[in-house]
Structures are given as C-alpha cells and as structure tokens.
C-alpha cells in the first residue's frame, strides 16, 4: 500500500503521484483514500475531474462501489492551475480525458510545493497509451499500477475490453460497455 511522505520531512516540496490501470482496477478508490487521509492531516485539498465525465455526478468523483468525494469539473488542464491557489494537495480523476497540457500543469503545481495525485486509465480500449497519462507516469515521483480482476478467468486484468464495435476513443460507460481482462483473455477476445 502506498504510504505518504512524512509531511514534516517533506517540508514544502511538491511531487506527483500517478495511480493508473484499467477500468474497475480501483483507481478512484485509491485516489479517494489518499485524499481523505490528507484531509485528516488537515491539509487543504482540491479535487478536479474533466467536464466530459459526468457519468455519476456533476460535482463528485464517485468510485464503482459508490465512494464519493466533492470535486470541481473543469474544461481544460489550464483551469486546474487557475483554481489551485493556496492548496496543499490537488487530486485529479479521469485524467486520461485531459489535454496534453496536463503534465505541464501537474509539474508546475508540484514545483510550487503542491502534492499532486493523478488517477487515470493508462491504456484505451485498443491497449494503446491513453492521452496525457504515459507522459505523467514518466515525470511523476511515484507511480502505482493497480489491477482489476479479469472477468473471464479471475487473473489480474490490465486491459479495458470494449464490448461494442465502436471505434471512437471517448465512449463513456460501465459494465454495459467494458470488461476488464488479463492479457490472455484480451487477446482471445480481440481475435474473435
């Protein structure tokens, strides 16, 4: 389990944490867990999500098992920078949907002494790197890869298999539209 740096020994230095994996791998739960612990430590926390994803709620980040935390929906990565004055910790969910400016924004926040925690899909439905997440994983101090349970065989899943033939990159959905699969089961599903 990821353990936070000791606040006093870290001083006012900022850093970036990335939580990445497939759908249903527990990214949002882990983000909420870290942010709640920061709140318990009386740190000032701001949470953002892309405006495009309002599946469960306009103003909350919600996990698949209904944990929730208040958040601000924003249009672009640059908005995060504008809205993050006077905070200790910034949390960002569904980060794969942000523009390529996200890595720069997160690095700027970290340079200002802010702890930045980013959660997002590392791969799209085709198994390709998704949006700004790979760049963020390269520049972050801490990267946690989380896994779902393969819906076919029960092994660790790293792919989000789309159940329809739709080719567009952004297609919001849940279990109706995607299933997490391991490498073997994903390759089988793709060859059918």
Ligand X SMILES: Cc1cn([C@H]2C[C@H](O)[C@@H](COP(=O)(O)O)O2)c(=O)[nH]c1=O
Residues belonging to the active site: 94
Contact 85, 41 (CB under 8 A): no
Task: Return d(Cα 160, Cα 125) in angstroms, integer.
Answer: 5
Q: Closest CB to ligand X among 106 and 181?
A: 181
Residue among 37, 87, 152, 189 that touches Zn ion (CB under 5 A): 152
State the binding site for Zn(2+). 150, 153, 182, 185
How many residues in total does the chain contain?
A: 192
**Does residue 144 bind ligand X (CB under 6 A)?**
no
Nearest to 92 by CA among 169, 126, 84: 84
Pick from 84, 94, 152, 86: nearest CA to 118: 94
Neighbours of 93 (CB within 10 A): 27
Q: Which segment (23-31, 36-44, 107-115, 138-146) binds ligand X by CB under 6 A?
A: 23-31
Which one of ligand X, ligand ADP, Zn ion, none is in contact with 149 (Cβ closer than 5 to 8 A by kind)? ligand ADP
Q: Which stretch binds ligand X (CB under 6 A): 9-17, 21-29, 69-77, 182-190?
A: 21-29
């Amino acid at each position: 389990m990821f353990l936070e740096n000791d606040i006093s020994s870290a001083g006012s230095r900022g850093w970036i944490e990335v939580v990445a994996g497939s759908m249903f791998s527990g990214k949002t739960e882990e983000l909420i867990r870290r942010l709640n612990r920061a709140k318990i430590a009386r740190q000032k926390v701001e949470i953002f999500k892309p405006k495009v994803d309002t599946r469960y709620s306009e103003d909350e980040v919600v996990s698949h098992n209904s944990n929730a935390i208040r958040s601000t929906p924003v249009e672009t990565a640059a908005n995060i920078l504008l809205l993050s004055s006077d905070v200790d910790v910034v949390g960002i969910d569904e980060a794969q949907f942000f523009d390529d400016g996200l890595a720069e924004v997160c690095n700027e926040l970290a340079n200002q002494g802010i702890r930045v925690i980013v959660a997002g899909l590392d791969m799209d439905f085709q198994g390709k790197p998704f949006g700004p997440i790979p760049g963020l994983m390269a520049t972050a101090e801490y990267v946690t890869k989380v896994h779902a349970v393969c819906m076919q065989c029960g092994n660790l899943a790293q792919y989000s298999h789309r159940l329809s033939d739709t080719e567009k990159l952004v297609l919001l959905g849940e279990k109706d539209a995607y299933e997490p699969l391991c490498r073997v089961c994903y390759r089988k599903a793709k060859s059918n």
